[in-house]
C-alpha cells in the first residue's frame, strides 16, 4: 500500500491506496489518475444543500516540472472526459525522463469535481493527494476560496476503516472559480512534511496551490533564486560575451522551458521567453520571472513591454534594466 497526507476535521490524516489500483508504471510516461465525485451525493444531515450534480467533465490539462523547476512536458485533454463517480480516470504525459515532482492541473470548459489525484512516475514511485479534503479544510478553516462539495468517494484510512472525501471543482469557462491546482507530490508523502500542520497545506504555497487566474501555466517553488555562475574558464568567457546580447528569443514550442534554461549551469545565449511555461529567463543573471498575468505581486515579465517590472506594492531591489533590439520568434 502507498499512503498520502490528508485531513479530517482539522487533523492530519493518512490515507492509503493500493499501488495496483493505479496500474503499472509506463516508462517513459507519467501516469495520472483521478477519482471523480459521485452525482446524487447529498450533504450530511443538518447541512443545507442539494445533491451533487454534473461532477463529471473534462479531464484537466496536465503540466509537469522537475524538482529544480525545469519544465518537463504537457498533455491537453479538451475533448477527453471522465464521468460522475469514475474510480479510475487516467491521463498520461509522454516521454518523461525525469521525476515530475511538480504538477499543475488546469481546467477545461466542462467543469469536473476531483476527489483524489495520484501520479505514477516513470520510475514507479507513486504519490497521491485527496484534493477534496484539502479544498474543504482550506476553505472552511484557513480562508481559502477553492470550491468543493460532498462526493461519497471513499478512501481507506491508515488507522482503519474508510472515510468519504469531498471533491474539488476545477473549470476554465467561469462556471466554477478554481481554474487550476498546483501539487508538489513529495509534500503529501507521510514523513516528508506531514508534521507541519494543516496551515502549511492551506497557505497557497508551493505544496498545494489553488489557482483562480485565467488559464494558469506556471508553478511556484519555495524560493526564486539566481544560479551562481558555473566555474569554468571557457564558460565564463562565453557568458561574458553574451551578457550584453540585445536579442530576445520568444518560443511557443511546448518543450522549450525558460526555467530549465536558467537552471542549467552551462547554458549561454540570449534571454528567453517560454509561452508554454509562461516564464522569462533573464540570462545575464540566470533569473526566472513569471509572466505578470501569473503573479499577483513582485517582479514579473511584461510580455507587452519586453521588460521585468514590479507588480503590486512589493518593493524589489535590483530589478534589471534591459533593452532588446531584436526579437526572434520560434
Q: Give the residue among 244, 322, 267, 245 at the shortest CA–CA distance from 289.
A: 322
171 and 251, same domain (yes or no): no
The count of structural domains within the chain is 2
273 and 163, same domain (yes or no): no
Q: Establish if 220 belongs to a structural domain.
A: no
CA distance 93 to 61: 10
36 and 139, same domain (yes or no): yes
158 and 295, same domain (yes or no): no
CA dihedral sign, ordered 101, 153, 212, 214: positive
Domain boundary among 143, 177, 211: 211
- pLDDT of 223 reads 53
289 and 255, same domain (yes or no): yes
Q: Establish if 225 belongs to a structural domain.
A: no
Q: Establish if 89 belongs to a structural domain.
A: yes
pLDDT in tens, the chain (330 residues): 678 999 988 888 999 987 655 555 677 899 999 999 999 999 988 888 899 999 999 999 999 999 888 899 999 998 899 999 999 999 999 999 999 999 999 999 999 999 999 999 999 999 999 999 999 999 999 999 999 999 999 999 999 999 999 999 999 998 999 999 999 999 998 876 445 688 889 988 889 999 999 999 988 887 544 334 334 444 455 556 566 677 888 988 877 888 888 877 667 778 899 988 888 988 888 888 888 887 656 778 889 889 888 876 544 555 778 888 888 888
- pLDDT of 226 reads 37
202 and 239, same domain (yes or no): no
Q: Establish if 224 belongs to a structural domain.
A: no
Q: Establish if 219 belongs to a structural domain.
A: no
Q: Establish if 218 belongs to a structural domain.
A: no
CA distance 43 to 123: 40
- pLDDT of 21 reads 58
249 and 198, same domain (yes or no): no
252 and 203, same domain (yes or no): no
198 and 243, same domain (yes or no): no
Q: Establish if 55 belongs to a structural domain.
A: yes
293 and 189, same domain (yes or no): no
147 and 183, same domain (yes or no): yes
- pLDDT of 288 reads 85
Contacts of 130 (CB under 8 A, 6+ apart): 4, 6, 7, 15, 115, 116, 155, 165
Residue 220, judged by CB atoms within 10 A of its CB (0-12, 13-18, 19+), counts as: middle
Q: Give the residue among 211, 16, 247, 250 at the shortest CA–CA distance from 105.
A: 211
Residue range(s) defining the domain that contains residue 264: 233-329
Q: Establish if 250 belongs to a structural domain.
A: yes
Q: Return the residue matching grid coordinates 522551458.
A: 257
Q: What is the pTM of this model?
A: 0.68
Amino acid at each position: 500500500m502507498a499512503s498520502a497526507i490528508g485531513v479530517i476535521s482539522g487533523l492530519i490524516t493518512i490515507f492509503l491506496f493500493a499501488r495496483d489500483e493505479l496500474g503499472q508504471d509506463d516508462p517513459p510516461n507519467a501516469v495520472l489518475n483521478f477519482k471523480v465525485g459521485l452525482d446524487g451525493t447529498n450533504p450530511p444531515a443538518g447541512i443545507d444543500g442539494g445533491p451533487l450534480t454534473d461532477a463529471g467533465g473534462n479531464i484537466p490539462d496536465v503540466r509537469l516540472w522537475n524538482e529544480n523547476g525545469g519544465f518537463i512536458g504537457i498533455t491537453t485533454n479538451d475533448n477527453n472526459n471522465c464521468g460522475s463517480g469514475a474510480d479510475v480516470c487516467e491521463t498520461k504525459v509522454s516521454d518523461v525522463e525525469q521525476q515530475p515532482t511538480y504538477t499543475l492541473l488546469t481546467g477545461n470548459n466542462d467543469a469536473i469535481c476531483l476527489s483524489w489525484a495520484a501520479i505514477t512516475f516513470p520510475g514507479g514511485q507513486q504519490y497521491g493527494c485527496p484534493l477534496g479534503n484539502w479544498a474543504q479544510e482550506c476553505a472552511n478553516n484557513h480562508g481559502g476560496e477553492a470550491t468543493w462539495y460532498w462526493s461519497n468517494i471513499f478512501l481507506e484510512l491508515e488507522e482503519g476503516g474508510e472515510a468519504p472525501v469531498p471533491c474539488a471543482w476545477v473549470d476554465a469557462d467561469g462556471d466554477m472559480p478554481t481554474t487550476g491546482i498546483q501539487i508538489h507530490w513529495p509534500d503529501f508523502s507521510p514523513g516528508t512534511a506531514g508534521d507541519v500542520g494543516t496551515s502549511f497545506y492551506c497557505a497557497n504555497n508551493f505544496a498545494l496551490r489553488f489557482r483562480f487566474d485565467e488559464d494558469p501555466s506556471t508553478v511556484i517553488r519555495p524560493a526564486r533564486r539566481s544560479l551562481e555562475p558555473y566555474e569554468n574558464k571557457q564558460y565564463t568567457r562565453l557568458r561574458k560575451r553574451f551578457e550584453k546580447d540585445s536579442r530576445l528569443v520568444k518560443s511557443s514550442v511546448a518543450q522549450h522551458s525558460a526555467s530549465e534554461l536558467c537552471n542549467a549551469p552551462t547554458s549561454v545565449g540570449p534571454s528567453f521567453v517560454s509561452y508554454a511555461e509562461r516564464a522569462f529567463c533573464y540570462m545575464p543573471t540566470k533569473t526566472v520571472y513569471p509572466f505578470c498575468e501569473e503573479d499577483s505581486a513582485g517582479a514579473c515579465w511584461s510580455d507587452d513591454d519586453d521588460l521585468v517590472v514590479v507588480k503590486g506594492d512589493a518593493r524589489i531591489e535590483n530589478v534589471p534594466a534591459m533593452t532588446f533590439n531584436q526579437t526572434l520568434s520560434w
